[in-house]
């Protein structure tokens, strides 16, 4: 019992301290950039008071914008949770793209390409969604499948090229992200994808039969995609821990030389990992289009694919960790909007917070150094390999 | 006939086969099957340089044929050189140029191509890429992967704009920018070398931080107080006497701001020091085999730390180009992924300064070609033209045009006693 507690204590110490440092630094930036605070720099006590108020208000707005806002609970208690549902809507695609990056980490690959894979997932789902008329249920399945297949090909291409030529997946995925971004710009100008009567790049809305069902009525955007995302997390967990192929993935991730000696086909693992990663990110794109966007536009991917990397790093490439990390970053982004409109602190500060958290998580030696800790569970297992690896 | 055996020769053969095929195709397609019907005009005069030829008007079909034939001849020379085991880079370059010109003459049928402006604009677009690639080179040749080029460029563009605005002098902006780049480098060096953080992940996270922080400060300070914080003066163009008057070459190379001239200085400086000085030898040794370097008394991590800092200074000058070196005011995420293209140029150029320089120039030129063609109204979707640098990089790293190999110890933290 005591052991378990100390083990849990050890495992949350690093994230805990990282959070603490990240939110402290963010707070300092918010205070220093607030002219109301800086005007009081003459008197230390007033200065600290107003700095505290400035940061406190910003963080309160961050909470109200992402979890619960009593001002919204006009007719009943439940309505106050509107921000939390918004957080879930943002977190849904993040969970899926985060899982894509996390799974790649498990096989020793650094998948920066979730952005491009997401775009292809969105393209596939959108096309089947607006082009065909199918019964409810089947339409959703077909659209999602189209997105998954396209994205799995796009992701699998990376794995195939790496396995065949030894080219580094980081370079390949960065380049393919740009290509995907230009591709969607072009695609939305073509007759097939441009919505009739529009000149701005937007595709037709997907048919009602292809839209994911809403979970809490018309007033909330929360849709069934969150369950799909959670199921995907469960799938990744099952794949990694309960199947032979998952065992092979982890073996190659831990030591590809040893895995090769043990008779595991490394090229097969690389290619199939990247295909599954592509499929996961593509499902993210599909769910985003079918669940909340309903129409393809050039900015459909937002920064879901890039945030996915910070999500997976924070979640230490574990499925459950990734879900929590996606919820946290989803909350930061959703709450950041409220913070921006209510307190004038630009939304972009949450990107800094996010970056800082991940920086410290990835640098256990640094956290240990700052807090003079003797022991800290340091095995983040988050490494990629040099260009030649 | 000599038999071609080694891997290198096989790849060179592949290259020659590809280029000759392309040359034949361009002759067939642009010259015979689908010739342009009207005349193409090339403009050569940009400013007030001495005029030899002002414009050159040629029928699209004849022009395309001439250029294709030039490239076919060059391909033939390349094949001959290959058989004799000589270097094929010059004929291949000429052949590629011929194909490109043939394409231009064909596509601009009935239109005007500002030839000199096309090249000058291409050079300008590649300036930050070159600085970025040199920054990456100085890091990576010593064994530290630098994915944070984007962050270095963005941070220094921001700082140079702010400092130049506050002081009212573009010189202060240019002086401050390298220190901003170095500050990012300090973060990279400390975490990568002292705390052994994975360098690829670290570089990525640093970029996220810089993007977040500059976006934040941009909204908080630069937009509301634009006059104080974001109205930097820019550098004047300094035409070099006499040289700038040379037709075509003058406007392209010798009519620029100080930042562009600094690029020439830094590229030649890096090339010379890397191959001809003690520092260069040590850098390359540490990047290839740190243990051996350590054995002969080189402090591996100290050298790496210093190199990463130097890289930051270099990238910083490139960042200043975005603001005081060209448009002046800072814009949100104005580097727009240039750091990654610089990284691509470094890899495309096989981690050599001259290779990286030409790769960056190629990428800059491709981008400018795209905008020129879309201005004169040509029916190729601009998105596909914009993909070119990225596709080229994929082709390069997958080894279709010769194997690309990174410094052996690139990205691997060094701990004495092999405790990595």
Q: Inter-chain contact A384–B201, Cβ cutoff 8 Å?
A: yes
**pLDDT at A40 > cutoff 90:** no
Per-window interface: B 139-198 vs A, CB < 8 A = 140, 145, 147, 191, 194-198
Chain B's closest residue to A355, CA to CA, is B209
For the segment A222-240, what is each residue's pLDDT rounded down to a tens digit? 999 999 999 999 999 999 9
ipTM: 0.90
For the segment A69-109, what is each residue's pLDDT rounded down to a tens digit? 988 888 888 888 999 999 999 999 999 999 999 999 999 99
- Dihedral sign computed on CA atoms, order A353, A356, A357, A358: positive
Q: Inter-chain contact A306–B405, Cβ cutoff 8 Å?
A: no
Q: Which two tokens stand for residue A127?
A: 């096309």
**Residue in A222, A224, A182, A177 with CA at minimum distance from that of residue A201:** A182
Q: Which two tokens stand for residue A258?
A: 């040893």
**Residue in B144, B157, B149, B159 with CA at minimum distance from that of residue B190:** B144
CB contacts of B394 in chain A (<8 Å) are 161, 167, 171-172, 175-176
Per-window interface: A 9-68 vs B, CB < 8 A = 29, 33
The minimal CB distance from B337 to the residues A178, A354, A356 is found for: A178
The minimal CB distance from B397 to the residues A172, A348, A383 is found for: A172
pTM of the predicted structure, to 2 decimals? 0.91
Rounded to whole angstroms, how far apart are CA atoms B308 and B316? 12
CB contacts of A306 in chain B (<8 Å) are 208
The minimal CB distance from B390 to the residues A178, A384, A386 is found for: A178
Measure CA of the first residue to CA of the last residue in chain B; give whole Å: 50
Contact in structure between B82 and B13 (CB atoms under 8 Å): yes
**Residue in B387, B373, B382 with CA at minimum distance from that of residue B107:** B373
Q: Inter-chain contact B201–A383, Cβ cutoff 8 Å?
A: yes
**Residue in B124, B168, B153 with CA at minimum distance from that of residue B312:** B153
A-B CB pairs within 8 A amount to 148
Rounded to whole angstroms, how far apart are CA atoms B89 and B16? 10
Give the CA distances from residue A264 to residues A269, A383, B81, in Å, rounded to whole numbers and listed in that order: 8, 21, 44
Chain B's closest residue to A370, CA to CA, is B195
Map out the domains of chain B with their CATH numbers: 7-110 (no CATH), 118-397 (1.10.3470)
Contact in structure between B64 and B106 (CB atoms under 8 Å): yes
Per-window interface: B 257-276 vs A, CB < 8 A = none
pLDDT tens digits in sequence order for chain B, 420 residues long: 445 456 667 777 877 888 889 899 999 998 888 888 888 888 887 776 777 777 888 898 999 999 999 999 999 999 898 888 787 778 888 998 899 899 889 888 888 888 888 999 999 999 999 999 999 999 999 999 999 999 999 999 999 999 999 999 999 999 999 999 999 999 999 999 998 888 988 999 999 999 999 999 999 999 999 999 999 999 999 999 988 888 888 889 999 999 999 999 999 999 999 999 999 999 999 999 999 999 999 999 999 999 999 999 999 999 999 999 999 899 999 998 899 889 988 988 889 999 999 999 988 988 888 888 888 877 678 888 888 878 877 887 776 555 567 888 888 888 876 544
Residue with tokens 């993909």: B387
**pLDDT at A331 > cutoff 60:** yes
Q: Which two tokens stand for residue A81?
A: 């949770």
CB contacts of A115 in chain B (<8 Å) are none
Q: What is the DSSP string of B148-162?
A: THHHHHHHHHHHHHH
CB contacts of B408 in chain A (<8 Å) are 388
Length of chain A: 389
Rounded to whole angstroms, how far apart are CA atoms A222 and A220? 6
For the segment A209-220, what is each residue's pLDDT rounded down to a tens digit? 999 999 988 888
Report how many helices (DSSP H) and strands (DSSP E) chain A contains, helices first. 15, 0
Rounded to whole angstroms, how far apart are CA atoms A184 and A68? 36
């Amino acid at each position: 019992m005591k052991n378990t507690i100390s083990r849990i204590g050890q495992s949350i110490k690093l994230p805990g301290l990282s959070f603490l440092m990240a939110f402290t630094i963010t707070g300092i930036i918010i205070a220093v950039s607030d002219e109301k605070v800086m005007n009081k720099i003459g008197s230390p006590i007033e200065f600290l008071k107003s700095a505290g108020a400035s940061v406190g208000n910003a963080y309160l707005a961050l909470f109200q914008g992402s979890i619960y806002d009593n001002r919204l609970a006009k007719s009943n208690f439940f309505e106050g949770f509107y921000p939390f549902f918004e957080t879930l809507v943002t977190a849904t695609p993040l969970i899926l793209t985060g899982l894509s990056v996390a799974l790649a980490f498990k096989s020793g690959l650094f998948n920066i390409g979730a952005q491009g894979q997401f775009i292809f997932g969105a393209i596939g789902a959108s096309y089947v969604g607006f082009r065909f008329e199918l019964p409810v249920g089947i339409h959703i399945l077909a659209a999602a499948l189209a997105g998954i297949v396209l994205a799995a090909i796009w992701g699998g291409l990376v794995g195939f090229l790496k396995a065949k030529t030894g080219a580094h997946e980081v370079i390949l995925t960065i380049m393919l992200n740009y290509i995907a971004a230009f591709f969607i710009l072009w695609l939305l100008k073509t007759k097939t994808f441009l919505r009739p009567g529009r000149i701005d790049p937007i595709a037709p809305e997907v048919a009602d039969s292809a839209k994911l069902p809403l979970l809490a009525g018309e007033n909330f955007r929360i849709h069934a995609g969150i369950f799909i995302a959670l199921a995907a997390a469960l799938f990744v967990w099952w794949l990694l821990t309960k199947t032979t192929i998952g065992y092979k993935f982890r073996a190659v991730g831990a030591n590809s030389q040893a895995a090769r000696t043990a008779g595991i086909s490394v090229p097969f693992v690389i290619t199939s990992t990247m295909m599954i990663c592509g499929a996961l990110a593509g499902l993210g794109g599909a769910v985003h289009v079918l669940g909340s966007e309903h129409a393809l536009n050039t900015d459909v991917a937002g920064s879901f694919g890039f945030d996915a990397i910070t999500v997976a790093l924070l979640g230490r490439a574990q499925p459950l960790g990734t879900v929590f990390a996606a919820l946290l970053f989803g909350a930061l982004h959703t709450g950041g909007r409220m913070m921006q409109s209510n307190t004038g602190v630009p939304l972009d500060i949450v990107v800094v917070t996010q970056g800082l958290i991940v920086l410290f998580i990835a640098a256990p030696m640094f956290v240990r150094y700052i807090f003079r800790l003797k022991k800290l569970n340091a095995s983040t297992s988050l490494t990629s390999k040099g260009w030649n690896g | 006939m000599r038999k071609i055996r080694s891997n290198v020769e096989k790849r060179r053969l592949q290259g020659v086969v590809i280029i000759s095929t392309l040359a034949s195709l361009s002759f067939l397609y642009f010259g015979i099957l689908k010739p342009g019907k009207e005349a193409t005009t090339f403009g050569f005069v940009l400013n007030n340089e001495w005029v030899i030829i002002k414009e050159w008007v040629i029928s699209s079909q004849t022009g395309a044929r001439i250029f294709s034939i030039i490239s076919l001849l060059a391909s033939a020379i390349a094949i001959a050189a290959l058989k004799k085991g000589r270097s094929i880079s010059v004929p291949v370059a000429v052949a590629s140029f011929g194909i490109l010109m043939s394409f231009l003459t064909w596509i601009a049928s009935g239109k005007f191509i500002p030839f000199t402006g096309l090249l000058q604009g291409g050079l300008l677009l590649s300036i930050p890429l070159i600085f970025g690639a040199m920054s990456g080179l100085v890091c990576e040749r010593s064994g530290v992967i630098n994915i944070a080029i984007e962050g270095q460029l963005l941070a220094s563009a921001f700082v140079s704009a702010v400092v130049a605005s506050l002081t009212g002098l573009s010189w202060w902006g240019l002086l401050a920018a390298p220190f901003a780049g170095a500050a990012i480098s300090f973060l990279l060096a400390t975490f990568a070398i002292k705390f052994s953080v994975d360098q690829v992940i670290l570089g990525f996270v640093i970029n996220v931080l810089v993007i977040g922080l500059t976006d934040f400060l941009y909204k908080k300070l630069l937009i509301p107080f634009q006059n104080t914080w974001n109205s930097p003066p820019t550098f004047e163009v300094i035409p070099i006497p006499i040289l700038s008057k040379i037709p075509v070459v003058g406007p392209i190379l010798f009519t620029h701001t100080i930042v562009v001239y600094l690029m020439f200085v830094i590229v030649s400086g890096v090339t010379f020091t890397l191959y001809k000085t003690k520092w260069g030898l040590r850098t390359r040794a540490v990047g290839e085999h740190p243990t051996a370097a350590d054995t002969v008394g080189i402090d591996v991590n100290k050298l790496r730390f210093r190199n990463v800092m130097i890289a930051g200074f270099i990238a910083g000058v490139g960042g200043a180009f975005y603001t005081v070196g060209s448009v002046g005011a800072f814009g949100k995420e104005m580097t727009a992924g240039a750091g990654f293209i610089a990284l691509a140029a470094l890899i495309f150029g096989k981690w050599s300064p001259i290779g990286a320089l030409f790769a960056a120039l190629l990428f800059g030129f491709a981008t400018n070609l795209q905008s020129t063609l879309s201005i004169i109204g040509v029916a190729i979707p601009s998105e596909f033209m914009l993909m070119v640098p990225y596709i080229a990089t994929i082709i390069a790293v997958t080894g279709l045009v010769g194997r690309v190999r990174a410094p052996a110890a690139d990205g691997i933290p060094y701990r004495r006693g092999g405790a990595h």
